[in-house]
Structure 1
């Protein structure tokens, strides 16, 4: 019998949460879709895995046995998948680097140049994803390392080093009355419709709506955008405003869109992230060190990853 590993991940989330709604939020899918997937898994096994009630989902005896086995199965599969994909890129001397939107701002080219000096003959393959995957392919092993906006879902399971901290700005229609201000207090934006990322982006979406910094004031969603072009178009058309990193004002100019500094809201950060398995990978280690060059203070320790710089500059 062949089982889709995606179904096993859904099962594990429900087993851990004990509740469909919470598990669906964690997985970034709808509750009806999750219910359907759990029923499909039960049909394939031919047993009931959960006892349903109004208070939640309790594991049956069969479900408990499966729940004990699933973590090892998924961990082994993830490792095999990651190593297989990595081996292919290593054979070609290619490092796969994921990013969302502007990556590490203007520092991206400097980072790639620093990596090239550490790894002569290697090439960096930059792979952009839309906003439905804030990990830029890192979570499922599509890339070896990623340049990401922090925080992001699953960050606590990965290695992360902060590179840049910058204030958040707002993208606003040029004709909007608030565009006349040099700085806009966040409180003045609370009643504005916002352009949001897709629901699949989970609480990363909430971060960019600053839901925790509104003192309970509800969010109005005016439009959904999956990438910068959709986002800029929605703002220019007057469908909403949106918090954004300071770098966006430099990278993404569009007629009809004005950027202003926002006060009274937390800053944004950019970080380099990699999976724990990459700790022993000297190529990933060289890329992380290339990212940290020029960003790390002399009083901050260098992360222990890969082969020490200078010991293995080429394969």
Structure 2
């Protein structure tokens, strides 16, 4: 019998979190989708893995047996997959770098130029991820290293280093009453509808809604998007406003949108992330050093 490793990963998340809600947030999937996957695994195995109640999900005896063995099985498979892809990358002299929109920005060409200087004959394949994958492909082993926004879900299992911080600004429809202000206090945005990332992104979404900096004031959601173009369109069309890194004013300038500095909200951090196993990978470490050694644009701090 063949079982998709995705089903096993879903099982482990529910077993560790104890509730479908927390497991769904961790996995970036909806709760109904996760429930369906758990039922599918139970059907394939022919056993009941959880006892469901209002307080959460409790492992059955067969479930506990599976929970004891599956993490090591998945870790072994992940290592095999990572090594296989890494070998293929070395053979092709290709480094796969994941990134999210507006991460390293204008520094990216200089980083790549320095890397290719250090590693002649190597090529960097930049792979943009959607906001529903805040690790930019690193958690799934789709890339060797990632330039992204910190914090992100699952980063404790990876190596990370902060490259720089920059202020968070607000993106407003051009005709918004606050668009003419030089600086907008964050408190004045609390009643505004926000354009948000999908709920499955958990605390990544919460960071860009600044949910923990509202003194308990609830967030109003005007639209949900997963791509920069959709995000820009939603703001320009008046469905909501959004917090954004200050650099977005340069990289995502477009008619119909005005960016303004915001006071009373913490800055955003950009970081570099890689797998623990790649501490000994000289190619990955060369790229990391290229990122850490670069001078960053004016207006941001390292």
- Cross-structure match for 2:215: 215
Aligned twin of 2:45: 45
Q: TM-score, normalised by structure 2?
A: 0.95
Q: What is the 5 A alignment of 1:254-293?
A: 254-293=254-293
Equivalent in the alignment of 1:179: 179
Q: Distance in 2 between matches of 1:167 and 1:269?
A: 9
Count how many residue pairs are aligned between Structure 1 and Structure 2: 296
Q: Which whole-Å CA distance do the structure 2 matches of 1:169 and 1:193 have between them?
A: 16
User: Does the aligned pair in 2 maintain the 1:163–1:295 contact within 8 Å?
Assistant: no
What's 2:236 paired with?
236
In 1, the alpha carbon distance for the partners of 2:151 and 2:22 equals 20
* Structure 2 match to 1:4: 4
1:82 match: 82
Is structure 2 residue 52 aligned with structure 1 residue 56? Answer: no
Would you say the 8 A contact 2:145–2:274 is kept in 1? Answer: yes
SS for the counterpart of 2:103 is coil
Judge conservation of contact 1:115–1:286 (CA < 8 Å) in 2.
yes
Matches within 5 A, 1:27-46: 27-46=27-46
Note the residue ranges of structure 2 that are not aligned, 5 or more in a row: 297-302
How far off its partner does 1:28 sit? 2.0
1:84, CA displacement in angstroms? Answer: 1.4
2:188 is paired with a residue of what secondary structure? helix
Give the secondary-structure state (helix, strand or coil) at the position aligned to 1:250: helix
Partners of 1:294 and 1:39 in 2: CA distance = 49
- What is the CA–CA distance in structure 1 between the aligned matches of 2:32 and 2:248, rounded to whole Å? 36
Structure 1 position 85, deviation (Å): 1.6
Listed one character per residue, the Cα deviations across residues 27-69 of structure 1 (whole Å, up to 9, x for unaligned) are 2222222221111111111111112222222111111111010
- How far apart are 1:105 and its partner, in Å? 2.1
1:199-225 CA deviation, whole Å, 9 max, x = no partner? 232220111001111111111111112
Matches within 5 A, 1:9-158: 9-158=9-158
Shift of 1:168: 0.4
Shift of 1:277: 1.2
Partners of 2:227 and 2:53 lie apart in 1 by: 40
- Structure 1 unaligned spans of 5+: 297-315
Kept in 1: contact 2:95–2:123 (CA 8 A): yes
Once residues 243 and 213 of structure 1 are traced to their aligned partners in structure 2, the CA distance between those partners, rounded to angstroms, is 12
TM-score using structure 1 length: 0.91
CA-CA distance at 1:139 after TM superposition:
0.7
Q: Offset at 1:295? A: 5.4
Verify the 8 A CA contact 1:164 1:271 in the aligned structure 2: yes
SS in 1 for 2:38: helix
CA contact (8 A) 1:146 1:273 kept: yes
How far apart, CA to CA, are the structure 1 residues paired with 2:179 and 2:116? 43
Deviation at 1:6, TM superposition (A): 0.7
CA contact (8 A) 1:116 1:123 kept: yes
SS, match of residue 269 in structure 2: strand
- Which whole-Å CA distance do the structure 2 matches of 1:36 and 1:235 have between them? 34
Question: C-alpha separation between the residues in 1 aligned to 2:200 and 2:88?
Answer: 29
In structure 2, C-alpha distance between the alignment counterparts of 1:88 and 1:165, rounded to whole Å = 34
Contact 1:167 1:268 in 2 (8 A): yes
